[in-house]
A and B are shown apart, each in its own frame.
Chain A
């Protein structure tokens, strides 16, 4: 065999491999967006007409998610009418209290206190995330927000609440989410706090107007 045919076969192998990757990627992309979505008006905030639309996939026990939430909160303060935020659950299996914290947040939302409870979860994360049993910490937050404890306990046990969280996670997985926090800013995927800050600066800085 000549050297040329070795080069030619190398080229063919490269083309086959690249085609394979793009075909698999296209196949997976074609499956996106067909999953059911949970819709909860309690988990949105900001101006629905805002040009900047952020969907946040979060695990309440993830430290980077807490940092990301604080970044978003700061931007809401500075640009109250320029952002529309929707929160979706993405509890990681590596976080012991990830799922149960999402359950409590969803149930607080059913009593109209999703965002105050969310803020408690974020601000007090260093305390409750290290506990063996975090339920008393969540119940204390609920008490401080004057939530109905009986309703809250019943809600936390509700299978439908679990389904809502799993629907969000399923949707996130189908979108290719692997780590938290992941954001979709005007439809573009952004992973991690560093990229979030960069995107928000790009969209919200005075020069961008």
Chain B
């Protein structure tokens, strides 16, 4: 059993991304497209691109984080992904867009925008800390397994 807090947190954050990504992938993509459209940030082709690609990105980054495979790359990409969430939610709050549910967790949980912003900031700090403490975070990881091999 992992006895270091970074590994436990890594597994929790990874599970979160796997579940939210899988939920969006399994349900019709039009649901997430409507969420993307509600932020009024992109043009139509980009909205469709984001609605199709982001759930896969969330899901795979979660899987790679869980397994500890290509960990540094996965963590850096997660930082960019979460930063994009923070920017998107932040601009929606500044513009007072009528969004009552962030849509970030599909149909699983519903949060108002300010809660989402706080959660995203916490997640960003967690991932940034994982990257800073990569030695501890990468315990019980496939990266370590291959490194030792």
Q: Is B146 touching A21 in the complex (CB atoms < 8 A)?
A: no
Q: Given contacts A9-B142, A10-B69, A178-B106, are A24 and B149 in contact (CB under 8 A)?
A: no
Tell me the dominant secondary structure on chain A's binding face. helix
Of all chain A residues, which has the CB nearest B107? Answer: A178
Q: Given contacts A9-B142, A10-B70, are A192 and B26 in contact (CB under 8 A)?
A: no
Q: Is B26 touching A21 in the complex (CB atoms < 8 A)?
A: yes
Tell me the dominant secondary structure on chain B's binding face. helix
A198 within 8 A of B: yes
Residues on the B chain within 8 Å of A191, using CB: 28, 30-31, 33-34
Q: Is B30 touching A189 in the complex (CB atoms < 8 A)?
A: yes
Q: Given contacts A1-B146, A1-B149, A198-B44, are A21 and B22 in contact (CB under 8 A)?
A: yes
Q: How close is A146's CB to chain B, nearest CB, in angstroms? A: 36
Residues on the B chain within 8 Å of A176, using CB: 27-28, 31
How many positions in chain B have a CB within 8 Å of any CB in the partner chain? 30
List the interface of chain A (C-beta within 8 A of B): 1, 3, 5-6, 9-10, 13-14, 17, 21, 24-25, 28, 63, 94, 175-179, 182, 189-192, 194-195, 198
List the interface of chain B (C-beta within 8 A of A): 22, 25-28, 30-31, 33-35, 37-38, 44, 59-60, 63, 67, 69-70, 98, 100-101, 103, 106-107, 110, 142, 145-146, 149
A10 to B60 alpha-carbon distance, docked (Å)? 11
Q: Is B98 touching A63 in the complex (CB atoms < 8 A)?
A: yes
Of all chain B residues, which has the CB nearest A175? Answer: B28
The 6 A-B pairs at the shortest CB distance, nearest first, are namely A1-B149, A192-B34, A191-B34, A176-B28, A178-B107, A191-B30
